[in-house]
C-alpha cells in the first residue's frame, strides 16, 4: 500500500469494518448507552435545562461517534499528523482561556472553559490530553529507535509538556494535570524506562514535588478535600459531597433505588454521576460499568502489546492510562477512595466536550487496533 500517493487523507475502505475490534467497540457503546439512560433519569428529575441539555448530550454523542469513525478510518500514517494538529489547536485554545470574555470562571470553580462561537462551551484541556499522548508517543518512538538522543528527546518532551501543563495548572485544573502526568508515566513505562530511574523519579516527586504542590499550589479547598479523605470528619464542608455521594450509592442497593426519590448530590450529572448510576441501576449497574471499563482498558493494553508500531503502542498505553485514570479516579472519589477532583466519567458524564474528545480518543484507539490487523 502506497499511502502517500493517494493524497493527504485517505479513508480506509468499507472493508475496514471487518477489521474493527468489537472487543473495543461493544464496551464503549454499552457504556454510552448506560450513560445516556442514567443521564436521562438524572436530568429529568428536576434540572431546569432539561431536556435541552439532554439533547445536547445526544448531539455531542452522535458527533463524537462520527468523529471516532472518521479518525478510525484515517490511514494509520496520518495519526501523527492528527496528533500534532490536535496538540497545536489545544495549545492555542488554552492560551485563549485566561483571556476575559471567553472563560466561564464564575460558573465553575476552575477557569478551564471557553465559550466558543458555534461549538459553545468547550474545555481545551480535554483536547490537550489526546494531543499530548499522540505527540509524546511520537517522541518516545524516536528515542526508542535511537533517531534522537535521550537528552534531545526528553528536552523536546519537556517543552511539549511544559506549555499545556503550565497553562492547565494556572487555570487551575489540578485533575487534568494529574491525568496528563499519569498518561505520561504510563507511556514512560511502555517505552521501557529503567526501573531504577523510575524509582528515582517517583521518590523525587514524593520528596520535592508533593510538599511543593501542597505548600504553594493547592488551594485551601483542595487541601480540605484531601485531608477529609484521610481524616474522616475533619472537614464537614468538603465531606458533604462525599457523604451525599455515598448515601446515593447506598440507596441504590443491589438493583437500584426503586422508590423514585433520590439523594441530592452536587454535580450528580457529571463528576458524581457514578452515584446516580448506583441509584438507578444499583450494585449490578455499577459493577457492570466497572467491568465494561475494565474490559475496555485491558483490551487496549492487550492491543498495545501487540501493535507493531512503537508509537502506536505507546499512544495506546497512554490512552489506556488516560481512560483508566478517569474511570478509577471518578469512581474512586464517588466512593471516597480518592480525593475529589473535577474529573468526569468517560462516555457517561454530561458534557459535550468530554464526550467528543473521548470519542476522538476512542477513534485513535480503534485506528491503532485496526492497524494491527490490516
> What are the residues binding another protein (CB under 8 A)?
45-47, 144, 186, 189-192, 243-244, 246-254, 259, 261-264, 278, 282-283, 286-287, 290, 293-294, 297-298, 301, 304-305, 310, 313, 317, 320-321, 324, 327-328, 331-332, 335-337
Identify the CA nearest to 128 among candidates 98, 62, 173, 65.
173
Q: How far is the CB of 278 from another protein (least distance, A)?
A: 7
Provide the minimum distance between the beta carbon of 345 and another protein in the complex, in angstroms, as a whole number: 12
**DSSP code string of 1-16:** --SGGG-S--B--GGG
CB of 251 to another protein, least distance (A): 4
Of the pair 71, 316, the CB lying nearest another protein is at 316
DSSP 8-state symbol, 282: H
Cell, residue 228: 477529609
215 versus 259: smaller Cβ distance to another protein: 259
**Neighbouring C-alpha atoms within 13 Å toward the C-beta of 132:** 32
Q: Which is nearer to another protein, 41 or 223 (CB)?
A: 41
Burial status of residue 52 (CB atoms within 10 A of its CB: 0-12, 13-18, 19 or more): exposed
H/E run at residue 314 = helix 310-335
Instruction: Output Rg (C-alpha) for the chain, integer angstroms.
Output: 21
Nearest distance, CB of residue 302 and another protein, angstroms: 8
Place of cell 468538603: 238
What is the spatial distance between Cα 152 and Cα 160, in angstroms, rounded to a whole number?
12
Sign of CA dihedral 286, 288, 292, 294: positive
DSSP H or E segment with residue 281? helix 273-306
Nearer to another protein, 19 or 247 (CB): 247
Say how far apart CA 12 and CA 169 lie, in whole Å.
39
Nearer to another protein, 73 or 277 (CB): 277
User: CB 276 → another protein: shortest distance, Å?
Assistant: 11
Residue 26: partners with Cβ closer than 8 Å, 6 or more residues away: none
Closer residue to another protein in complex, CB, 12/372: 372
Smallest distance, Å, CB 332 to another protein? 6
Q: How many CA atoms lie within 13 A of 26 on its CB side?
A: 9
Residue 231 beta carbon to another protein: minimum distance, rounded to whole angstroms: 18
Considering the complex, state which of residue 37 and residue 283 has its C-beta at the smaller distance from another protein.
Answer: 283
Residue 127, C-alpha cell as written in the block: 483536547
Amino acid at each position: 500500500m502506497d499511502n502517500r500517493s493517494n493524497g493527504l487523507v485517505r479513508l480506509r475502505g468499507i472493508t475496514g469494518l471487518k477489521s474493527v475490534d468489537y472487543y473495543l467497540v461493544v464496551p464503549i457503546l454499552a457504556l454510552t448507552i448506560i450513560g445516556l439512560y442514567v443521564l436521562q433519569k438524572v436530568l429529568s428529575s428536576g434540572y431546569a435545562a432539561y431536556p435541552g441539555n439532554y439533547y445536547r448530550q445526544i448531539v455531542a454523542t452522535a458527533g463524537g461517534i462520527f468523529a471516532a469513525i472518521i479518525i478510525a478510518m484515517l490511514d494509520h500514517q496520518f495519526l501523527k499528523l492528527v496528533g500534532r494538529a490536535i496538540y497545536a489547536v489545544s495549545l492555542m485554545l488554552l492560551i485563549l482561556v485566561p483571556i476575559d470574555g471567553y472563560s466561564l470562571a464564575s460558573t465553575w470553580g476552575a477557569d478551564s472553559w471557553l465559550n466558543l462561537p458555534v461549538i459553545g462551551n468547550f474545555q481545551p484541556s480535554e483536547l490537550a490530553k489526546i494531543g499530548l499522548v499522540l505527540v509524546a508517543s511520537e517522541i518516545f518512538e524516536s528515542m526508542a529507535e535511537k533517531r534522537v538522543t535521550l537528552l534531545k528527546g526528553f528536552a523536546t518532551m519537556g517543552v511539549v509538556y511544559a506549555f499545556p501543563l503550565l497553562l492547565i495548572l494556572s487555570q487551575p485544573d489540578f485533575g487534568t494535570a494529574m491525568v496528563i502526568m499519569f498518561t505520561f508515566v504510563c507511556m514512560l513505562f511502555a517505552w521501557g524506562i529503567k526501573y531504577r530511574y523510575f524509582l528515582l523519579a517517583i521518590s523525587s516527586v514524593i520528596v520535592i514535588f508533593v510538599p511543593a504542590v501542597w505548600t504553594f499550589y493547592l488551594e485551601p479547598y483542595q487541601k480540605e478535600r484531601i485531608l477529609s479523605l484521610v481524616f474522616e470528619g475533619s472537614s464537614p464542608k468538603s465531606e458533604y459531597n462525599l457523604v451525599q455521594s455515598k448515601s446515593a450509592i447506598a440507596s441504590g442497593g443491589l438493583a437500584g433505588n426503586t422508590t423514585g426519590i433520590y439523594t441530592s448530590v452536587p454535580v450528580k450529572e457529571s463528576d458524581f454521576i457514578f452515584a446516580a448510576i448506583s441509584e438507578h441501576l444499583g450494585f449490578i449497574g455499577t459493577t457492570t460499568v466497572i467491568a465494561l471499563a475494565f474490559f475496555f482498558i485491558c483490551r487496549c493494553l492487550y492491543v498495545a502489546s501487540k501493535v507493531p508500531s512503537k508509537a502506536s503502542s505507546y499512544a495506546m498505553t497512554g490512552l489506556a492510562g488516560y481512560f483508566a485514570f478517569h474511570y478509577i479516579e471518578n469512581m474512586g472519589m464517588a466512593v471516597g477512595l480518592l480525593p475529589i477532583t473535577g474529573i468526569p466519567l468517560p462516555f457517561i458524564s454530561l458534557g459535550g466536550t468530554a464526550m467528543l474528545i473521548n470519542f476522538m480518543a476512542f477513534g485513535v484507539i480503534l485506528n491503532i487496533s485496526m492497524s494491527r490487523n490490516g
